[in-house]
Copies of this chain bind each other. A is one copy, B any other.
């Protein structure tokens, strides 16, 4: 059973963005990409909750669940402006058109025992993977961004010292590539590329 609600009038992704796979993969994985063109359409609360619920049920080392998210919806102008100011300029150009921005934090240690969460970043990445695919099942695209001002986030939001900002996500329904500045439109239409499996799947020995 899929939780997707279809939006038949939504723009279709550029065909260059469908993964040119060497082996078949699930539709959610094949059509996922990181867009820069977003529609001016909010994400309702039930959809947002479903998206974070997917992250919630990800596995993590010792079930530590080391993830934390700050969600800024476009409708909340103060929150959205604040979150936007945490993005590096290259991302600010397009990500401020998204329906929501999400700041993603990973727990680094247990403040009581001092125990190191050495799998924190890994597990937050894994949960983000679940989040991305769940979003897409609602036709919501997520664009993860490494280009953020981490120190500024930690200070501006008073992030506890046992968490570190890792990424931000732009979330939204797909927009029209033609509405982007020319250089970004070109990137929005460029084919996706990946190294072949032979480069990173080693059978038996490295």
Expressed in whole angstroms, the Cα–Cα distance for A21 and B58 within the complex equals: 12
Q: How many copies does the complex hold?
A: 2
Q: Are A197 and B49 in contact (CB under 8 A)?
A: yes
Is A128 part of the contact surface with B, judged by Cβ < 8 Å?
Answer: yes
* Smallest beta-carbon distance A105→chain B, Å: 9
Closest to A160 in B: B206
Q: Are B63 and A193 in contact (CB under 8 A)?
A: yes
Q: Are B126 and A79 in contact (CB under 8 A)?
A: no
Contact of A57 among B30, B54, B130, B146 (CB under 8 A): B30
Which of chain A's residues 74-117 have a Cβ closer than 8 Å to chain B?
76, 78-79, 82, 106
Is A13 part of the contact surface with B, judged by Cβ < 8 Å?
Answer: no
Most buried by B among A59, A67, A76, A82: A59
Q: Please, which residues of chain B bring their CB within 8 A of the CB of A58?
A: 129
Q: Are A70 and B146 in contact (CB under 8 A)?
A: no
* Smallest beta-carbon distance A151→chain B, Å: 14
Besides A21-B57, A79-B203, 16 more A-B contacts (Cβ < 8 Å) are A22-B53, A23-B46, A23-B50, A23-B52, A25-B53, A25-B57, A26-B133, A29-B57, A32-B59, A56-B197, A63-B193, A65-B195, A68-B202, A71-B202, A119-B166, A122-B166
